[in-house]
Structure 1
């Protein structure tokens, strides 16, 4: 039985995250790019293998995981697949389990659930004499939450089997996300109780280069409509701004001057305006690290 406890991603934070996904359709934008990139990679990864093992780190509600596992199944329909899932949220993991239960083709895949921070999973794995290795590991928009980027990348790369791939997706260095978090670093970090800068693609690539790891990078361009963020009475705008600033309640988390400054920055430096609507640049970087 799962222990019901407060973990690293629950309550209002999950509510704002789910609202963001529903309102922006970011995953729907991402999927065509992932199909284009991953199908040939899966063909290479699985050549000559009698089984395939997948590790998802920070998988959340599993919306992308089920799509990638289905892709892998389509490439190797007769090869057994296992999936290990690491996530710090009980709430989102429960949603993932429901999604699996309602996806017929995933019934034959055995899932192992690790409801914990990625650092705790790393400690647990290192304590074992026989570490499980994986053909495909993915970390999608989760590296923002790790304490030591270099060690995290090094550890997960060490879990790759021969010819395996580590997929990393996070905010592109030139995206509106990075502009916002750099410009208002002091105020945003004060609200999130952290002094650590938000990791972006440039940081990951610098770390991979320093470790001598081979990788390929692809930019996934995307944007979403933030026009409602400029309407102070809009519930939609409040939810979006709360998610974007990692606060439970944007309008109550900052002084009027800081709120106004963030909104000016979003409109003038992080977005484009089309037909009177404001579209925030949420481009992601997709990095495939070779074993």
Structure 2
């Protein structure tokens, strides 16, 4: 079993326990209020855009608060990859991974494809040099990936699609797992992915579902405090992807994965870990310095959480959408 906390990517995994007794009178918990500014409210949903370093720190706090092992999380992706043959018998399957991170999810998907195909061409698009180097190490050390030809693209999503515009290549499988929150234009990214998808291939996209309490909190935050277009922020949902697919007349199926998050530390006054976790949950930098948003978010979490083994458990539902191109 490996320590996922060393591989900060696009997924969720490990739970650390905090004592419920440390939260005094949780039912009547009222956040401390300070004077806020419109500048703070204008950052709602823009954690990664406005403060990438804080985003990275908050994501680590999120990993530490998640009740799921890496192995269990990744096995979910293996279960949703279609069993159907993507190309002619004996042919090479072409795979495009958008925002592949350090490769844990990608490698599970690739191994599933290798069960039916003798070889895989895997184009990896990842802007983080550190993560792509970790992926390369994983690929070298995992002998079960020896039949995979990797094409490493150290680029942002936007840079990749611009540079590949003249390439005459289509992919049988394209995936973007918890990535479309962070691209500049999700609609343009979906369109570009679809254009590079071969007829008969499929596109796999994972996003937070508005059906879960986490997703509902995001929509409530935007309803109360959002400025501009929600799709210009990270508060994008699986439902937004479905709207685009419906407009395209595409056929798709979806699968849900429930992830429980220990939000106890968010209610501890002056807890840096709690502040970072709250930033990640709200996708908003320095939420604790914006009293209106902090009060609303903590009240929502309090009302929609469960008390399990002295921990405040907040539910996220990730939705994986698999769309087929006829």
Please classify the TM superposition score into its range, dividing by the shorter chain length.
Answer: 0.7 to 0.9
- Tell me which residue corresponds to 1:255: 290
Q: CA RMSD in A?
A: 2.9
Q: 1:136 Cα shift?
A: 0.9
- Tell me which residue corresponds to 2:164: 125
- Tell me which residue corresponds to 1:227: 264
Question: Does the 8 Å contact 1:10/1:89 carry over to 2?
Answer: no
The equivalent position to 1:209 in structure 2, one of 228, 232, 246, is 246
Q: Which has the larger radius of gyration?
A: 2
- Listed one character per residue, the Cα deviations across residues 33-65 of structure 1 (whole Å, up to 9, x for unaligned) are 322222xx1443256241111111011222211
Q: 1:202 Cα shift?
A: 1.1
Q: 1:228 Cα shift?
A: 1.9
- Tell me which residue corresponds to 1:243: 280
Counterparts of 1:36 and 1:178 in 2: how far apart (Å)? Answer: 23
Q: 1:29 Cα shift?
A: 4.1
Counterparts of 1:245 and 1:27 in 2: how far apart (Å)? Answer: 23
Q: Is 1:17 paired with 2:59?
A: yes
SS at match of 1:222: strand
- Tell me which residue corresponds to 2:77: 34
- Listed one character per residue, the Cα deviations across residues 208-267 of structure 1 (whole Å, up to 9, x for unaligned) are 01111111112222222212221224444233223223356544xx32343232111122
Alignment of 1:180-195 (within 5 A): 180-185=217-222, 195=232
Q: 1:197 Cα shift?
A: 6.3
Question: Does the 8 Å contact 2:206/2:321 carry over to 1?
Answer: yes
Q: 1:151 Cα shift?
A: 2.9
> TM-score, with normalisation over the residues of structure 2?
0.74
Q: 1:19 Cα shift?
A: 4.1
Q: Is 1:54 paired with 2:95?
A: yes
Q: Which has the higher contact order (CA 8 A, sep 6+)?
A: 2
SS at match of 1:162: strand
Unpaired segments of 5 or more residues in structure 1? 1-6
Alignment of 1:59-208 (within 5 A): 59-76=100-117, 79-126=118-165, 128=166, 130-185=167-222, 195-196=232-233, 198-208=235-245
Q: 1:183 Cα shift?
A: 2.1
Q: Which consecutive aligned stretches of 4+ in structure 1 deviate over 6 angstroms post-superposition? A: 186-190
Q: 1:287 Cα shift?
A: 0.6
SS at match of 1:283: strand
> TM-score, with normalisation over the residues of structure 1?
0.82
Q: Which segment drifts farther, 280-289 or 237-246?
A: 237-246
- Listed one character per residue, the Cα deviations across residues 120-170 of structure 1 (whole Å, up to 9, x for unaligned) are 2111121x1x33211111011111123433332222112122321100110
Counterparts of 2:69 and 2:156 in 1: how far apart (Å)? Answer: 24
Unpaired segments of 5 or more residues in structure 2? 1-47
Q: 1:189 Cα shift?
A: 6.3
SS at match of 2:274: helix
Alignment of 1:266-281 (within 5 A): 266-269=301-304, 271-281=305-315
Question: Does the 8 Å contact 1:44/1:163 carry over to 2?
Answer: no
Question: Does the 8 Å contact 1:224/1:280 carry over to 2?
Answer: yes
